[in-house]
Amino acid sequence: MEEKIKDMLETFFVENEEFSDCFVVDINHANTKLEAFVDSDSPMTFRRCQQISRFIEAYLDEEQPLGEKYTLNVSSPGVDRPLKFHRQYLKNVGRTLEVTTTAGEKFKGELKTVTDENIVLTAKVRRKEGKRKVTVVEDTPIAFDDIKKSIVKISF
């Protein structure tokens, strides 16, 4: 079911210019509940989510793979959901990330740059120099292959 919906959405995005920068982040299906998390390179608006929802509803109503009564949620992934794709990192340059590596290390800092191979986080770090502590700005490169989980952190 998840794969069918994902394939349908990817075709829909290719065939409709308005959605050409959209991509599927995740599809979750349990019993009669279906959740679709969709993102885009430009802002993901309520109207876009609504149109995608109606597209999926048309299939669910006609084919009834979930029966007559079902729950459908279409949204962009919230900040509590981990980043999964390279293009999501590009969209979040300048924001604070908390990254956990496959080795279990945790890094927190501003996402400074994104390349095909890695990301670079910039953070202020307290270091001891002689008898006193100083604050320095440090860049930390992290390879995409080493990233287990990345979460955008919101600061107020």
Per the CB < 8 A criterion, the answer to whether 63 and 132 are in contact is no
Give per-residue pLDDT as tens, 56-115.
Answer: 999 999 999 888 899 999 998 887 889 999 999 999 999 999 999 999 999 999 999 999
In sequence order, the 6+-apart residues with CB closer than 8 A to the CB of 35 are 26, 27, 28, 29, 72, 73, 74, 75
- Checking 44-48 for CB contacts under 8 A at 24+ apart, the result is 44/76, 48/18, 48/19, 48/22
Provide the pLDDT for residue 1: 85
Question: Residues with Cβ < 8 Å from 150, sequence gap 6 or more?
Answer: 82, 83, 89, 97, 98, 99, 100, 119
- What SS3 class is residue 155? coil
Q: Which of 124, 51, 116 is nearest to 85 (CA)?
A: 116
- Residue pair 74/40 in contact (Cβ under 8 Å)? The answer is no
Q: What pLDDT score was predicted for residue 11?
A: 95
pTM confidence score: 0.78
Helix intervals (H) in 64-116: 86-91
pLDDT value, residue 27? 93
CB 87 within 8 A of CB 77: no
Residue 155 has pLDDT above 80, yes or no: no
Q: What's the order of all strands across the beta sheet hosting 118-129? A: 132-143, 118-129, 106-114, 96-101, 147-153
Region 9-21 average pLDDT = 94
123-136 pLDDT, tens digit each: 988 888 888 888 88
Helix/strand/coil for 121: strand
pLDDT band at 43 (very low <50, low <70, confident <90, very high): confident
Question: For 30-42, how does the pLDDT look when each residue is reduced to its tens digit (9 = 90+)?
Answer: 989 999 999 999 8
